[in-house]
Amino acid sequence: MLAVEDLRVRYGKVAAVRGVSLTCGAGELVALLGPNGAGKSSTLLGIAGGLESGTVSGVVSLDDHPLQGLTPEDVSRAGVVLVPERRRIFASLTVRENLMVGASAWASRRQATAHAEQVIQQFPMLASMAHRHGGLLSGGQQQLLAIARALMAKPRVLLLDEPSIGLAREMVNTVFETIRRLRDDGLAIVLVEQNVANAIALADRALLLRKGLIEGVAQSGADQVLSSYFGRGEGAASPT
Amino acid sequence: MTRALQYTADALSTGGLYALFACGLSLVLSVARIANFAYGSVLMVAAYMLLVTRALAWPIALIVVIASAVVLSVAIDRVAFAPLRRADAVTLLVASFGVSILIQNLVVLIAGARPASVNFGASFNDAVSIGSVHIAKIDILTFVVTAAVLLSLWLFLTRSLTGVQLRAAAEDFTMSRLAGVRANRVIAVAFAISGAIAGVAATLLTMQSGSLSTDAGLQPTLIAFIAVVVGGMGSVVGATVAGLLLGIVSVVLQATLPSHLLPYHDAILFSIVIFMLLGRPQGLFGARAAGARI
């Protein structure tokens, strides 16, 4: 489904991502792990088309259809949707309006509204506050709203950037339970996460990034991933 | 009491017109982050279209005037601003000055530099008497039309999918694109609405003054920019409310200043604006940091 080959991101003289390759199929969750500045968020932004064209190179494709060079809205409409770090929900818009922004791919308002009803039913916490402004929600509620907004675009691939950052433990569990459900429903998910334990509990594969390079790829298995993450490569397989 | 009611009518009429100026300008500023000085040229061309369409029935003339303002506004975006999407704010500002000068000179070339008179809706300059209060019909019309335009805009922004996308783009343009909102389309819609508002405002302004000149758009644009700053950069509601307040304060000053101070009316009005901004530099409705558009 999603294939990324030799993705490179450069901000001026700084190479943030130096040749990342990965694949993610339907119902699969690939975790990108690594310290701050490893290039995880830049990788997601590069895939989502969220960076200026001159800063990104490499090949990104969905079912062999190239995505590189497309505008962010076209990447989103193609089915690859980013849930960015810090949620970036629209604070002045209501929960329902936030969802409607994500419905841009739908042909008519009627279809979009019907889909919004389906999506919001998946998030009982949001269902009761459909008319509340996004800025008045808690961090956890905003995170669920950001995921729900992404689902409005009928995605096939979800790019999740630090979904648990700044959330209380109970809400972290809710968010990860939601991610598990989406993966089980067949979504391909690329997850950037500092919460390594939660990420590897869900991941089919974990890519360990350092300084913009994949240092190791660990197949599912907590011990292998943890030793790779904390032991700088011990036990990690070679990148494939 | 009678005078107070008449001043109220004047204030609401002037304030309404200023609110329209500000609303049209701030819509483009909030979505596209373009301080569009060419907005005044759109207004001026729309006013001249009243001259071109004077032989037509007034509803058709009105449609042609508004449609021409919409087309010109969108064309300015497509031709002048779209190629500069990634440019900084200063470049866009200079481009808008260039477009404004170009359009103004084209109108001078076609229609001549001398002011012209238009009697579109001249009957609205009569007054309606309510008891001892005499209110010009044009004042009532201006207030009613302004209220109708702003209500329609509010309904569009809150009830339509495109309107919600427009508000999202105004709040976080990059995120709205990541969510699938088409950047060029949403900016074109903002320019189209801005043009339509300019068309309505030009019609009301010309009906009030009865005259046309190629610098007709300058004063409204300046007022609109001041209202945008007072209301808070990027806030359409703020700019509209500030436009209304500016009009009201202007009329109040006109009515209450001693005659020897009346020549300083504008200086006093804008001094009030400066003092207000010293106390609240972010404007009445706050401000957001400018960000990249595309």
* Residues in chain A within 8 Å Cβ distance of B174: 50, 72
The mean of the pLDDT values for chain A is 88
Q: What is the mean pLDDT of residues A120-146?
A: 91
Q: Residue B172 domain-assigned? A: yes
Tell me the C-alpha distance between A205 and A220, whole Å.
5
* Residues in chain B within 8 Å Cβ distance of A133: none
Q: Residue B286 domain-assigned? A: no
Q: What is the CATH number of the domain that holds A27?
A: 3.40.50.300
Q: Residue B287 domain-assigned? A: no
Q: What is the mean pLDDT of residues A64-71?
A: 92
Q: Residue B290 domain-assigned? A: no
Q: Residue A238 domain-assigned? A: no
Q: Which of these, B232, B246, B245, lies nearest to A92 by C-alpha position?
A: B232
Position B7 scores a pLDDT of 84
Inter-chain CB proximity A90 and B161 less than 8 Å: no
Give this complex's ipTM: 0.89
How far CA B156 is from CA of B65, B150, B153, in Å, comes to 21, 10, 5
Beta-strand (E) ranges in chain B? 116-117, 127-130, 133-136, 211-212
* Residues in chain B within 8 Å Cβ distance of A71: 177, 183, 294
B174 touches chain A (CB under 8 A): yes
Q: Residue A79 domain-assigned? A: yes
Q: Residue A236 domain-assigned? A: no
Q: What is the mean pLDDT of residues B195-205?
A: 96
pLDDT-above-90 percentage for chain A: 63
For A225, the domain range is 2-230
Q: What is the CATH number of the domain that holds B175?
A: 1.10.3470
For B165, the domain range is 2-279
List, in order, residues 6 or more apart from A4 with CB less than 8 Å away.
A20, A21, A22, A23, A43, A47, A58, A59, A60
The number of C-beta contacts closer than 8 angstroms across A and B is 76
Q: Residue A190 domain-assigned? A: yes
List, in order, residues 6 or more apart from B136 with CB less than 8 Å away.
B9, B13, B124, B125, B126, B127, B128
Q: Residue A169 domain-assigned? A: yes
Position B131 scores a pLDDT of 80
A67 pLDDT exceeds 50?
yes
A114 touches chain B (CB under 8 A): no
> B186 vs chain A: nearest CA distance in angstroms?
11
Over residues B40-84, the pLDDT tens digits come to 999 999 999 999 998 899 899 999 999 999 999 999 999 999 999
If one counts the domains in chain B, the total is: 1
Q: Residue A237 domain-assigned? A: no
Q: Residue A240 domain-assigned? A: no
B188 touches chain A (CB under 8 A): no
Q: What are phi and psi of B247, to 5 degrees?
A: -65, -45
If one counts the domains in chain A, the total is: 1
Q: Residue B293 domain-assigned? A: no
A237 pLDDT exceeds 50?
no
Whole-model pTM: value is 0.88
